[in-house]
Structure 1
Amino acid sequence: MAKVSSKKPRYTAPIDPMPARVDPCLATLVDKPPRGSDWAYEVKWDGYRLAVHIEPGRVRILTRGGYDWTEGFPTIVDDARRLAVKTAILDGEAIVLNDQGRSDFGMLQRALGRFPSAVEAGAIVFYAFDLLYVDGRDLRRLPLRERRRRLEPLVAGREGAIRLSEEVQADGDEFFRVACEHGLEGIIAKHVEKPYRSGRGEWWQKITCKRRDSFVIVGFEPSTVPGHLGRLLLAARKGDDLVYVGGCGTGWSHDLSRELRNVLASIVTKTPAVSLRRKNAVFTEPVLVAEVEYRAWTDDGKLRHASFKGIRPREDEASVFELA
């Protein structure tokens, strides 16, 4: 008579289907860092938020708004294939570091071919700060500390196009002070016990040294210097409409001023996207978005001390500032 084994059959956890896309978790802007041992901090990178999807036979790179930008990041795609995983979704930021070791959005745009450039595409680095899916397991329900525990062995210590965004256990106020002193954009605070939740919430918080948002370019004012840009005219979203919020006339070099003027001249329209009368205004199709750094809002809803930081196509609509 055959002997019956007393061992229980081995349980095999079900394999989770891999999401085609995950809406990103977005940080809420706050005035000062949260306190407590449940919070960890990271540098706030100045680049493009991306999700790297490693799938059987291919790698996809998706923007925050869900657009496929795989072709724009060949070095990240190549490096993703070398990671010791069969399938994965990495959440992070694509950046270019300048000579001071700080992320530079303008250099990133040049590396992507937005303007004539000496910055090569190979200079782009993807800093991964979260792991949402790996080898058949959806990790979004796990707390951040557990997701980070699984992320770090995959990318820590690497010097290629995919690297780890270091997490800092420190006093938030002190870390923020040091970040601003070193010319960084700010810091991100994340609650280590929370799962990954798409959309904006209090479990991720951003504290910026200066305010920075994205606005639709709806026109420009020419410079007194022929062929150059004097001022960008900007709008924010309000429901399905665009509302004029002022402009900016600083933040570009002499050469970039000319390049921007040429780009805008190619999309001039006679139909303004906003209700606005300005004597020297030249209106453009609302297809480009400006990254703008500013100090505050005026009482009449205009940007105060705005400075241009970069430009991007409007197709990634999720990044445009929305008025309440």
Structure 2
Amino acid sequence: MARTSSKKPLALAPSDPMPARIDPCLATLVDKPPKGPDWAYEVKWDGYRIAVHIEPGRARILTRGGYDWTERFPTIVDDARRLAVKTAILDGEAVVLDDQGRSDFGMLQRALGRLPSPYEAGAIVFYAFDLLYLDGRDLRRLPLGERRRRLEPLVAGREGAIRLSEEVQADGDEFFRVACAHGLEGIIAKHVEKPYRSGRGEWWQKITCKRRDSFVIVGFEPSTVPGHLGRLLLAARRGDELVYVGGCGTGWSNELSRELRKLLEGMATKSPAVALRRKAAVFVEPVLVAEVEYRAWTDDGKLRHASFKGIRSREDEAAVFQFSKGIEE
């Protein structure tokens, strides 16, 4: 059930300049949902985090890393121009939904054109979950509950390319259980009294049904089947360097296996991006990122039971997994 409120939005100060870009608020991975009336829950969408900037006469779309991807999301841009605002910045996720209404990253990356696809850019939907700027007012200093009260009248009930990511009033543990049972990636918990803070913090928390991160593709091992892919070789960031974290040999169909093999062969290099020797390996330029689902890490820093979910360009570097002092980020 969606959260509703009878409170009126707080009055704001005089006009604020519109930011050219805002670093997104990022959720911290936790094991269990937080409890209490100060927490709101949403579905964790499986797509691209983007910000929609609406300005007089135009709309722009920026990725999490700050790249302008306006041309890649024409239907979202077109729908943004129809919103009843003069200026605004909406935070949310671009997704493609499967036939059961679940977001599917593989379908999204095909719609964006990296691999042959039956899906068009028009299938991409933007689920807005926060409003950072509206008609001359910077909303980031307001609590989440206040920001949502301004967001909902703009996008609630719409069925176009821009829609509302609904808040759910439920017990966090039960909502998480139901989300996993329905094949969703997980849930997000947000503290309703906190302002919007760029970077990773405890005020937004993510609870995933399985672990999932992005890793740089540094090579591949051919399959024993001619023309097919056997295993992707993956790397994470440690400081300014890439370090090998193991491989991934499942998660693709026969057709996708051939497409990936052909794509990667066109990026082959004799200069590996990581310190790794493999007799059968073909090393590639580190320009693509694999979305990978996995169960855990080994003691020596390798992925366990990794499964391929999709690819993206490394130009949005912010998404790549980075080691901190321990294994987990």
Compute the TM-score of the two structures, normalised by the length of structure 1.
0.96
| 1:162-311 alignment runs, 5 A limit | 162-311=162-311
Residues 225-254 of structure 1: CA deviation (Å, up to 9, x unaligned): 111100000000000100000010000011
1:20 Cα offset (Å)? 0.1
* Aligned residue in 2 for 1:32: 32
**1:170/1:303 CA distance change after superposition, 3 Å:** same
Q: Determine which structure has more spread, i.e. the larger CA radius of gyration.
A: 1
What SS does structure 2 have at the residue aligned with 1:225? coil
**1:12/1:191 CA distance change after superposition, 3 Å:** closer
| Paired residue type of 1:129 | F
1:169 Cα offset (Å)? 1.6
1:277 Cα offset (Å)? 1.1
Distance in 2 of aligned mates of 1:12 and 1:304 = 50
1:89 Cα offset (Å)? 0.1
Residues 178-237 of structure 1: CA deviation (Å, up to 9, x unaligned): 000000000000000000000000000000000000000000000111111000000000
* Aligned residue in 1 for 2:45: 45
Distance in 1 of aligned mates of 2:184 and 2:17 = 38
1:100 Cα offset (Å)? 1.2
1:310 Cα offset (Å)? 0.5
* Aligned residue in 1 for 2:4: none
**1:150/1:244 CA distance change after superposition, 3 Å:** same
1:105 Cα offset (Å)? 0.6
**1:126/1:279 CA distance change after superposition, 3 Å:** same
1:87 Cα offset (Å)? 0.2
Distance in 2 of aligned mates of 1:226 and 1:12 = 64
What SS does structure 1 have at the residue aligned with 2:106? helix
Distance in 2 of aligned mates of 1:142 and 1:47 = 27
* Aligned residue in 1 for 2:18: 18
| 1:73-92 alignment runs, 5 A limit | 73-92=73-92
Q: Name segments (4+ residues, structure 1) moved above 3 Å.
A: none
1:12 Cα offset (Å)? 9.6
| 1:61-140 alignment runs, 5 A limit | 61-140=61-140
Distance in 2 of aligned mates of 1:32 and 1:12 = 36
1:33 Cα offset (Å)? 0.3
Distance in 1 of aligned mates of 2:322 and 2:48 = 19
* Aligned residue in 2 for 1:3: none
**1:194/1:12 CA distance change after superposition, 3 Å:** closer
- What RMSD over aligned residues (CA atoms) do the two structures have, in Å? 1.0
1:109 Cα offset (Å)? 1.0
| Paired residue type of 1:283 | F
| Percent identity (aligned) | 89
The unaligned stretches of length 5 or more in structure 2 are 1-10, 325-329
Q: Size of the alignment, in residue pairs?
A: 314
| Paired residue type of 1:257 | S
The answer as to whether partners of 2:12 and 2:137 remain within 8 angstroms in 1 is no
1:14 Cα offset (Å)? 2.1
